[in-house]
Chain A
C-alpha cells in the first residue's frame, strides 16, 4: 500500500488524538502532531506514535483554537511535500479545516468515513442526511480532512518512544475574535449515537400510554429510547434529539429494536449501522422487515408485554 510522506494531525480534544495519530501512521510514513498544552501532552503524543511534535505553546484562555490557523498553516507550508492534514471532527476542527483550506489552497472534506491514498487522495463522507455516501478526490498538493471517530484503533502506547518538540512561534491572526467568556455546557443531553442498545418507536406504537410500556421495555433491555421523525415532529411525544434518521441521530448500537416503525429509507439510514436489527410491525409488507435480522408480524399491544415478561423471567 502506498503511503503519503507526511500526515499532520491536530485534535482540540485530547481524547481523540490517539486514533488520529493511528490514522496518520496507517496513511503516512511520518506523523507530525501539533500540540497546544502541557509538556506531558507532548510526551503523550510521542508515546502514541507521533514522529514529530510541533509545540504551539500552553493553552491560553484569551485565544480560541482557530487563532492558531495561521501558525499551523505556516508550519505546513514550510514543509512542501504532498501531505494530508487530519483534524478532529469537532466544530473547532471544521473551522480550522476551512481556514487552512483557504490559507494553503487545499481541498477540504469534513466528517470523513474512509480515506484512500492509492492513486491520489480520495475521501468518503455522508451526504443527503445519510441517504448516500459521497466520494471526493482531492487534487491539491495538501489535503485537509476532519476524520470521523471510530475508524482507526489507537496504537499501543510505547513509553520508550520520545523526542524533542519543535517550538513554533505564534503568528497573530489578521482578524479579531476575542473570547470574553468560556463555560461548561449545561446538562449533558442524551447521545443516542453512542448507545449500545436502542429501541426505536414509530407511529405504530399508537398511543402515549404505549410509550410508557416501551420505556419499561427499554429499562429492562438497558436500552435508550429513540423514535421516528413523525413521533418527534408531528406527535411531539419525544425530543428532537431522539429522532433517528436523516438529519437526526445516526445509530451504531449492538441491538436495535424497532417498534411500530414502517422502515422508510429516511429512518433506516439512521439505524443501518446496528449490528442486529429486530422489528415488530403489524403490517407484513412493512419495508422494515427487509432490513431486519429478526421480525415479528404482530400486534404491538401483545408483543411488548410478552417481551417484558420474557426479560423479567
Chain B
C-alpha cells in the first residue's frame, strides 16, 4: 500500500510569550512537528507493519523552515520511508482550504492509496485540512479516527470515537483519514532510526513543480491576539499565620457560596 502521512511544523507552544500589546511572540519558540501529525505518522508506521509491503511518504507544505536538514531528519526518524516537501515563500502561512489545495496537487503527483493526517494542528487548530483534501480529491474522507482495525488492498476498517458513540467504519480506498490524538502513543526515535533517517530520500518541490490553480480567498486571517483578561481582585495575603489562614479560608468560603 502506498501511504502518505502529512505533517506541519508549528511553534513549540510552551515557548510562546505574549507581548504587552497582546500579540504572540514566537521568536523563542522553535518549530516542532505538530503533535497530532506525529500520531498520523505513527498510525502509518503501524499500518505498514500490519500490511507488510508498503511505502510511507511523509509530506509537508510550507516555507523555508522545511529546508532545515534537522527538521527533515526529525520526521524521517519517525519511520516514513521517504519525504516530499513543497516549499515556497507563499506557502508560509496558508489557511486550511489553501493547504488542502496544494496537498491535493502534491499527492496526485506522488500517487497514493491512503493519506493520513492529524485531526488538527497546534497553531490555528482549524481541523479542516484532511477532510477538505479528501473532498477536493473526490475520495472517501473522515475525521476522528481513533483506531485502525484492519487493512486490505482496497479498504481499511477503522474505529471513530465520537462525542456520544463509537462508529466502526469500512472505508474504501483511496481515502484520506484524519486521526485523533488518542489513536496511539508515538514512538520516540532511537539512535538507530535517527541515523537511518539521514540516508532516506527527500524530494523537494517548489510551487512551479505542481499543477496549481489560483487559490480562492474564501477566508482571511485578520488578527491573532491574546484574549482580553478579566479584571481580578488581586487581594493577596502575604503570610500564613493563623489569622491570615482564617482570612484566606473565609474568602474561599465566600467564593463557594
Contacts and interface: CB of A to CB of B under 8 A. Distances in A.
A175 B233 contact: no
Given A131-B18, A297-B239, A108 B128 contact: yes
Interface stretch (A26-34, A48-56, A155-163, A286-294): A286-294
Contact of A107 (B97, B144, B172): B97
Contact of B240 (A92, A181, A298): A298
B236 A102 contact: no
B24 interface: yes
A293 B232 contact: yes
Contact of A272 (B217, B227, B249, B251): B227
Contact-residue size bin, chain B (C-beta under 8 Å from the other chain): 35 or more
A19 interface: no
A125 B126 CA distance: 9
SS class, residues of chain A in contact with chain B: mixed
B25 to A, nearest CB: 10
B170 A178 contact: yes
Interface in A150-170: none
A239 to B, nearest CB: 12
Contact of B221 (A135, A176, A266): A135
B139 A175 contact: yes
Contact of B216 (A97, A136, A140, A280): A140
A98 interface: yes
B88 to A, nearest CB: 22
Contacts, number: 266
Contacts of A139: 217-220
A99 B56 CA distance: 26
A266 B144 contact: no
Contacts of A105: 216, 218
Given A177-B169, A247-B13, A297-B237, A98 B218 contact: no
B252 A132 contact: no
A280 B244 CA distance: 12
B202 to A, nearest CB: 29
A307 B249 CA distance: 5
Contact of B218 (A99, A138, A284, A294): A138
B80 interface: no
SS class, residues of chain B in contact with chain A: mixed
B256 A221 contact: yes
Given A136-B220, A277-B232, A296-B237, A181 B249 contact: no
A241 to B, nearest CB: 10
Contact of A293 (B13, B164, B235, B238): B235
Interface stretch (B42-50, B57-65, B108-116, B155-163): B155-163
B14 A246 contact: yes
A235 interface: no
Contact of B16 (A128, A294, A310): A128
Nearest to A109: B219
Given A185-B161, A295-B235, A257 B252 contact: yes
Nearest to B240: A298
B128 A110 contact: yes
A236 interface: no
A133 B239 CA distance: 37
Interface in A194-250: 197, 221-222, 246-247
Contacts of A190: none
A106 B165 contact: no
Nearest to A92: B162
A116 B237 CA distance: 42
B90 interface: no
B79 to A, nearest CB: 23
Contact of B255 (A102, A179, A294): A294
B14 A266 contact: yes
Contacts of B230: 272
A102 B136 contact: yes
Nearest to A299: B240
Interface in A255-276: 255, 257, 265-266, 269, 272, 276
B124 A134 contact: yes
Nearest to A175: B140
A98 to B, nearest CB: 4
- Pairs of residues from A and B, 4 with the lowest C-beta to C-beta distance, nearest first: A298-B240, A310-B249, A98-B131, A107-B219
Interface of A: 13, 64, 66, 90-92, 94-95, 97-99, 101-103, 105-111, 122, 125-129, 131-140, 174-185, 197, 221-222, 246-247, 254-255, 257, 265-266, 269, 272, 276-278, 280, 284, 289-299, 302-303, 306-307, 310-311
8 contacts: A95-B144, A102-B97, A108-B218, A126-B125, A135-B224, A184-B164, A292-B232, A311-B253
Given A64-B169, A109-B219, A184-B164, 12 more contacts: A98-B131, A111-B125, A126-B125, A175-B139, A183-B168, A197-B256, A246-B14, A292-B236, A298-B244, A306-B240, A310-B250, A310-B252
